Homo-oligomer: A and B are copies of this chain.
């Protein structure tokens, strides 16, 4: 049976990078004879919102459920639709309602990429961020009282459940266990956020008992961001709450050169629902429409999708192709964020060509 992929480009540069992600996937699929089947959707975009008054049709869940994965660009056009409306009406809905409770993001200093940190070379930075993806600070519950007065008070709840915390910790410990260094770092802030974060810490200690061979440490999020800059080589696998994982997985790719190349898997490990693969970068309204966006985050997200489907060899070839094109970093090929003057097209086609040639 074919693997059905729902293509949801979204907004801004999401629409621009998507074709190259699909092109690369089609190229590798034809070489390895993988039965990928793509179907595109125009919802989960601010354009759609403007026409229909909602980010998605009512039956979006029924529409997407039969797919094996969602290949997602980026959402957000804050001048048209407020970010909380557009995101809670699309991406965050997918994560929550398709129970994609793992957000997995590699952070790797790749050959050919200029690192903003002094003296770091490819191989020095190579870790995974495992982010809780359905609860925590992204609760969407709370509200306002005494609105419009001096007593105005706004409350939002952070919610952690044992089920939610334990399952992401288990995934992170297992990932750490599968790696040579077997090292797990937990992000916390239990000194300041005095209820939810100490709870997180307790569950970490509890879970660690099942993984005695994993070397565990924990850092408060403030000093942890400092370590990203000062000793990024110390990390192997990092696990954090929804918000902390969000922050670390932008900071990490920034430390390795550019957010434009970073991918992300929103995974439902149980396989009950489709998982979603997307670049870490957003819709970037400031550069949208110019064809200048880096397509590698989108392409690499496709690579993670193949990996998720179990096509290890094809995924390895895709990653190798990305590495080769980055390593060469030809000025006419790579985009501005990497110091080149290439376009989404030149960069995307170079990776597709490299896949075909491997």
Contacts and interface: CB of A to CB of B under 8 A. Distances in A.
Interface of A: 76, 82-84, 86-88, 92, 115-119, 137-138, 140-144, 149-163, 189-199, 220-223, 225-230, 242-243, 246-247, 249-251, 253-255, 259, 282
Contact of A153 (B84, B154, B160, B259): B160
A154 B159 contact: yes
A149 B163 CA distance: 10
Contacts of A229: 116-117, 229, 251, 254-255
Given A82-B198, A157-B142, A192 B243 contact: yes
Nearest to A86: B191
Copies of this protein, total:
2
28 contacts: A76-B191, A82-B198, A84-B190, A87-B192, A116-B117, A116-B118, A116-B229, A118-B119, A138-B193, A140-B194, A140-B195, A142-B158, A142-B195, A149-B162, A151-B161, A151-B162, A154-B195, A154-B196, A155-B158, A155-B196, A158-B158, A192-B242, A222-B246, A222-B247, A222-B250, A225-B250, A228-B251, A247-B247
Given A156-B157, A156-B194, A189-B243, 9 more contacts: A83-B220, A87-B191, A116-B230, A137-B193, A152-B161, A154-B161, A221-B247, A225-B247, A226-B251
Contacts of A119: 118
Contact of A155 (B153, B192, B195, B227): B195
A162 B154 CA distance: 8
A226 to B, nearest CB: 3
A249 B149 CA distance: 32
A222 B199 contact: no
B150 A92 contact: no
Nearest to A162: B152
B137 A150 contact: no
A56 B198 CA distance: 22
A93 B208 CA distance: 33
B159 A158 contact: no
